[in-house]
Structure 1
């Protein structure tokens, strides 16, 4: 077993103040900041003075409240610039497939619509016509429904209006099962944070799909877990759904997403 590395305790203690400011997201008084960071105000103040000199925090002269400073912003932007959702998602998909022993797919919104960019095969492979580059049905698949639920309406409406004119599109009748009639289904997806299909559109295959968000709250990609009906529990409160939710939440967090 690897021995834990030794750190500097004072940095870890002071770091709680920065974490609290990041989580709260608004200026705070010394009293509130110290209290939520689980330390006395007298102990927190010297840390804040040092962080202020570094530019990690700044104090408003009028209200005396503290907030994150310009260096914290620069560090955050530098981190965001190097983040690649698909690269991070690929690593997450590998871990999720190993945990659940199910196939995991990543999809992004491309010029052709919901497009598979990575597939992690499970120890129980499924025989379906899905590979990198496959464009998924917008309304019939769990993957497509998550995009329909979380992308702006104008994006989906434009896709519906124009996709039938392109060679990659599904038949026009497939793309228009009344956008208005889909609203109830999409509302349920947003309520559960997940889309579910059971033995459709492929008989014998179940799937669950969930969204991953970026630092601006925009949909970055969709992760789908799928497997044979006999071996895959599609329940929204089941183990597969729980693991998928946790995976997407962690990935969203790494991309800078802060849920309201």
Structure 2
């Protein structure tokens, strides 16, 4: 008698899926979590609690589809519904996750990691500065392809009135702290100077400070603010180079690259996509 060989069935995993299918699913992740995550992202973008219909629309789904996700998120504390208005907002677990995330992030470490690529992109020297005990202080310098002969190194203080870095802090740091630091620099009346006050307003409006040949002939600089998740100025990123090579136009390619780096850092620190326009409080 002739024996027929039966085709060997494909091996299955414990959940009944073929290995290739399981591997594919593993690489894709869990789609339902990704879909539900759009609701969380929509709430973050909105910055306020939303009715079900509006929240679903913002997440790109039907209200009937969104509701089960919101119920599950509510059970674990990612979402909560206001009992009076019925609006949905971020819940206590989401707030706790955000706060813990902010505590774990080191702004200087993030900025330093960005500086080498930024120096190459801008073709000039770049730096990061934070607010120190006496005012702005440079914490890292990354040399670019074009050397800049200025006395700038780690630990160098930045003049609030005469450097791009300093003007970012003068514009966005708390006014009382800025006034004290200006007084230590011998510029006690600087904030009352209409010219300087107008310059700081321009910095706040543009999100960019610009200095041309102010401290050293032939050397220019521009700087941008980096904000944290509470809207506070975390640090300043500056570009310094020969005036002939640094385009100070606020709409130029170098300014756009500098702003994009600051925006990326701000978002990693928990800031909203749109940076504050006035941080001088």
Give yes or no for TM over 0.5. Answer: yes
1:229 alignment counterpart: 243
- Contact 2:228–2:271 (Cα < 8 Å) also in 1: yes
2:102 alignment counterpart: 80
1:185 alignment counterpart: 199
Distance apart, 1:6 and its partner CA: 2.3
1:54 alignment counterpart: 76
When structure 1 is superposed on structure 2, of 54-63 and 136-145 the one drifting more is: 54-63
Distance apart, 1:56 and its partner CA: 0.8
Distance apart, 1:177 and its partner CA: 6.4
Distance apart, 1:112 and its partner CA: 2.4
- Contact 2:137–2:156 (Cα < 8 Å) also in 1: yes
Secondary structure of 1:46's aligned partner: helix
Q: Distance in 2 between matches of 1:204 and 1:155?
A: 31
Question: For 1:26, which of 48, 58, 76 is the aligned residue?
Answer: 48
Distance apart, 1:119 and its partner CA: 0.6
Secondary structure of 1:231's aligned partner: coil
Gaps in structure 2 of 5+ consecutive residues = 1-26, 277-281
1:238 maps onto 2:260 in alignment = no
1:101 maps onto 2:123 in alignment = yes
RMSD of aligned residue pairs (Cα, Å)? 1.8
Distance apart, 1:129 and its partner CA: 0.7
Distance apart, 1:109 and its partner CA: 1.1
- Contact 2:160–2:182 (Cα < 8 Å) also in 1: no
1:256 maps onto 2:270 in alignment = yes
1:119 alignment counterpart: 141
1:194 alignment counterpart: 208
Secondary structure of 1:179's aligned partner: helix
Runs of 4 or more, structure 1, over 3 Å off, are: none
1:89 maps onto 2:150 in alignment = no
Gaps in structure 1 of 5+ consecutive residues = 164-169
Distance apart, 1:78 and its partner CA: 1.3
Q: Distance in 1 between matches of 2:264 and 2:258?
A: 10
Distance apart, 1:90 and its partner CA: 0.8
- Contact 2:164–2:238 (Cα < 8 Å) also in 1: yes
- Contact 2:225–2:236 (Cα < 8 Å) also in 1: yes
Question: For 1:9, which of 31, 37, 55 is the aligned residue?
Answer: 31
Q: Scaled by the length of structure 2, what TM-score is found?
A: 0.84
1:136 maps onto 2:180 in alignment = no
Q: Distance in 1 between matches of 2:52 and 2:92?
A: 19
Q: Distance in 1 between matches of 2:98 and 2:106?
A: 14
Q: Scaled by the length of structure 1, what TM-score is found?
A: 0.90
Distance apart, 1:8 and its partner CA: 2.3
* Residue deviations 1:70-113 (CA, integer Å, cap 9, x gap): 11111111111101111111112222112222211001111121
Q: Distance in 2 between matches of 1:176 and 1:130?
A: 25
Q: Which has the larger radius of gyration?
A: 2
Question: For 2:177, which of 152, 155, 159 is the aligned residue?
Answer: 155
Q: Distance in 2 between matches of 1:63 and 1:189?
A: 40
Give matches, 1:60-71, under 5 Å.
Answer: 60-71=82-93
- Contact 2:179–2:188 (Cα < 8 Å) also in 1: no
Distance apart, 1:160 and its partner CA: 2.8
Q: Distance in 2 between matches of 1:136 and 1:178?
A: 16
